């Protein structure tokens, strides 16, 4: 059995989206906007997958799908069809294709409260048809508005992707430079036990206020990422940038030296490529993802410390 998932990301976040899909459901990019996998990905937990569906057919000719449905009728009582085209213009109208599919299904449509949701995706000449099993909730969008924010904070959607890329199973996640708590909050919403520290005394208090605003009871405390110690499963952090928060000489080297004391896997956002420093610290970098954010480029370093 195969599953297909629709990627909802522009060029800016595309590498993040692909990395998230690869961790949550190892597979392949079948066409520009569709990820195929042997495992179903729960799109409601993702940052960049708009839906997941059980693959019933894929091909390049719409007529082949219609012939298949005539030869092997599909029972779909109370169905609705979600049809998507990339690019949106050109080719047969979506309504027409949905009507032709509906005529060949066993059952009647129910667009208001469908019992069965089907997906038809046309992506750059490739076609996919299947039964939808999950949809993206985009609940992270509401968390862009919180009581306290910080100029260097990353968007909740980006934070969610970073947490997913670091590890998909329930774990203890730490952000030792938590700032306003964006990463900790996203980790908590995904069901992880989330903990945040910051060397600025007022930040943990503000981050705790943000978490409680969204009904989350995450843990926060004062601590310096260079000297902090503890046993956590994953570390995800947006490190300070000299342009927003001054960093003393040797700061990044000290952070990297201390990583093994904190977690076996880490994901670090920086405003520059720290690959040479990571290698010098004796750590293994498993990936480097660039993400454009307004006038700057963030670098997401994926690191193993063991």
Beta strands in 32-159 (DSSP E): 34-37, 49-59, 74-75, 79-86, 105-106, 116-123, 126-135
Q: What is the pLDDT of residue 151?
A: 74
Q: At which of 100, 135, 170 does a domain end? A: 135
Whether residue 159 sits in one domain with residue 28: no
Strand partners for 36:
4, 28
What pLDDT score was predicted for residue 170? 81
Whether 50 has a pLDDT exceeding 80, the answer reads yes
Whether residue 153 contacts residue 178, with contact meaning beta carbons closer than 8 Å, is answered with no
Sign of CA dihedral 139, 145, 148, 150: positive
| 3-class DSSP state of 27 | strand
Cα Rg of the chain (Å, integer): 22
Question: What are 297's strand-pairing partners?
Answer: 292
Q: Which of 117, 135, 153 is the last residue of a domain?
A: 135
d(CA 109, CA 114): 7
* Mean pLDDT (whole number) for 290-303: 87
**Domain match, 279 and 157 both:** yes
**Distance from the first to the final alpha carbon of the chain:** 35
pLDDT band with cut points at 50, 70 and 90 for residue 291: confident
Residue 180: which CATH number?
Answer: 3.40.50.150
Q: At 108, which CATH number?
A: 3.30.2130.30
Question: What confidence score (pLDDT) does residue 243 get?
Answer: 65
Domain check: are 147 and 98 in the same one?
no
Same domain? For 151 and 124 the reply is: no
Q: Which residues pair with 121 in a beta bridge?
A: 84, 128
85-102 mean pLDDT: 90
Asked if 47 and 108 sit in the same domain, the reply is yes
Residue 293, pLDDT above cutoff 80: no
Q: How confident is the model at residue 31 (pLDDT cuts 50, 70, 90)?
A: very high
Model confidence pLDDT, tens digit, residues 137-156: 999 999 999 999 877 789 99
Burial class, 213, CB count within 10 angstroms (exposed 0-12 / middle 13-18 / buried 19+)? middle
Instruction: Say what the pLDDT of residue 92 is.
Output: 81
Structural domains counted in the chain = 2
Q: Are residues 217 and 163 in the same domain?
A: yes
Range of the domain at 185: 139-304
- In this structure, are 107 and 157 located in the same domain? no
Closest residue by Cα to residue 140 from 226, 51, 46, 11: 46
Those residues with Cβ within 8 angstroms of residue 110's Cβ, 6 or more apart along the chain or in another chain: 78, 79, 80
Encode pLDDT of 245-269 as tens digits.
678 899 999 999 999 999 999 999 9
Give residue-wise pLDDT tens across range 184-229.
Answer: 999 999 999 999 999 999 999 999 999 999 999 899 999 999 999 9
Q: Are residues 7 and 60 in the same domain?
A: yes
184 and 91 share one domain: no
Q: What is the pLDDT of residues 154-194, one digit of tens each?
A: 999 999 999 999 987 888 999 999 999 999 999 999 999 99
Q: Are residues 157 and 61 in the same domain?
A: no
- Whether 118 and 221 share a structural domain: no
**H helices within 241-290, ranges in order?**
251-258, 275-280
Q: Is the pLDDT of residue 47 over 80?
A: yes
Ordered DSSP codes for 256-274: HHHGGGT-SEEEEEESS--
Tell me, what's the pLDDT at 89?
80
Residues 63, 66, 67, 68, CA torsion sign: positive
Same domain, 65 and 167: no
Query: What is the reported pLDDT for 241?
Result: 80
Show which of 74, 102, 135 is a domain's final residue: 135
Structure tokens at 200: 């600025």
pTM of the model: 0.93
């Amino acid at each position: 059995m195969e599953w297909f998932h629709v990627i909802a990301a522009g060029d800016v976040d595309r590498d993040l989206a692909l990395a998230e899909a690869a961790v949550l459901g190892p597979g392949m990019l079948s066409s520009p906007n569709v990820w195929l996998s042997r495992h179903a990905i729960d799109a409601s937990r993702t940052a960049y997958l708009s839906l997941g569906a059980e693959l019933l057919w894929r091909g390049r000719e719409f007529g082949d799908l219609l012939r298949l449905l005539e030869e092997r009728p599909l029972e779909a009582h109370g169905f609705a069809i979600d049809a998507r085209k990339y690019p949106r213009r050109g080719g047969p109208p979506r309504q027409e294709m949905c009507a032709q599919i509906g005529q060949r299904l066993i059952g009647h449509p129910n667009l208001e409260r469908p019992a069965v949701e089907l997906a038809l995706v046309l992506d750059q000449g490739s076609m996919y048809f299947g039964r939808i099993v999950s949809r993206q909730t985009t609940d992270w969008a509401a968390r862009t508005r919180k009581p306290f924010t910080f100029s260097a904070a990353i968007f909740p959607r980006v934070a969610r992707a970073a947490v997913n890329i670091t590890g998909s199973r329930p774990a203890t996640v730490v952000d030792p430079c938590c700032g306003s708590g964006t990463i900790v909050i996203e980790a908590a919403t995904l069901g992880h036990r989330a903990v945040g520290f910051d060397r600025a005394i007022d930040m943990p208090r503000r981050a705790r206020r943000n978490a409680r605003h969204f009904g989350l009871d995450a843990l926060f405390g004062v601590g310096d990422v260079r000297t902090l110690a503890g046993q956590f499963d994953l570390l995800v952090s947006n490190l300070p940038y000299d342009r927003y928060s001054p960093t003393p000489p040797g700061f990044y080297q000290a952070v990297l030296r201390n990583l093994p004391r904190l977690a076996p896997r880490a994901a670090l956002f920086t405003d520059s490529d720290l690959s040479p420093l990571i290698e010098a610290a004796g750590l293994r970098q498993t990936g480097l993802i660039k993400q454009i954010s307004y006038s700057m480029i963030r670098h997401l370093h994926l690191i193993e410390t063991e």
